[in-house]
Amino acid sequence: MREISLRTHSRSELLDITAKVADAVRESQLEQGWVTAFVTHTTAGITINENADPDVGTDLLATLDKIVPRRGAYRHTEGNADSHVKASLMGSSVTVPVQGGGLLLGTWQGIFFCEFDGPRTRHVVIEVVGERAAR
């Protein structure tokens, strides 16, 4: 298990962490199994989506802002109630199969940390489980 730190720079943003997760898999020498990335925060999430066109992330954040506006009739009065809702919608973890020592993602897929209450320093726990390569 490993924990990575991320620094976000705006209230809402997506950070592509695919390479960091792939590094954890490579360093583990896992041949086959799975890797889970877990966000340890209640106002941030994680998702898998297209990482080739940055407009996909822009559209995703804009759509979340439309369906969960920053200002609303929220009972949680700290000013980040929308962040909690968005984090729950995105989820707190993703699991990706590992095959041949690498992430088994589709051609256009990437793993994204989703910031909804930044800027902050955030943490993601990465756990790699499965069969190690023969040494």
Instruction: Give the span between the Cα atoms of 43 and 20, in whole angstroms.
Output: 21
Domain 2-132 classified CATH 3.40.1710.10? no
Region 13-37 average pLDDT: 97
Q: Give me the amino acid identity at 70.
A: R
Region 88-101 average pLDDT: 97
Instruction: Give the span between the Cα atoms of 61 and 13, in whole angstroms.
Output: 7
Write out the two tokens for 117: 């209450």
The pLDDT-based confidence of 132 (bands split at 50, 70, 90) is confident
Could you tell me if 101 and 30 are in contact, meaning their C-beta atoms sit under 8 angstroms apart? yes
- Using one digit for the tens of pLDDT, what is the confidence trace for 31-88? 999 999 999 999 999 999 999 999 999 999 999 999 999 998 999 989 999 999 999 9
Could you tell me if 24 and 125 are in contact, meaning their C-beta atoms sit under 8 angstroms apart? no
Domain boundaries, the chain: 2-132
Q: What pTM did the predictor assign? A: 0.95
Instruction: Give the span between the Cα atoms of 39 and 35, in whole angstroms.
Output: 13
- Provide φ and ψ at 74, rounded to 5°: -85, 145
Neighbouring C-beta atoms of residue 85, cutoff 10 Å? 19
The pLDDT-based confidence of 135 (bands split at 50, 70, 90) is low
DSSP 3-state of 25: helix
Question: Rounded to an integer, what is the distance from CA 7 to the centroid of its chain?
Answer: 13
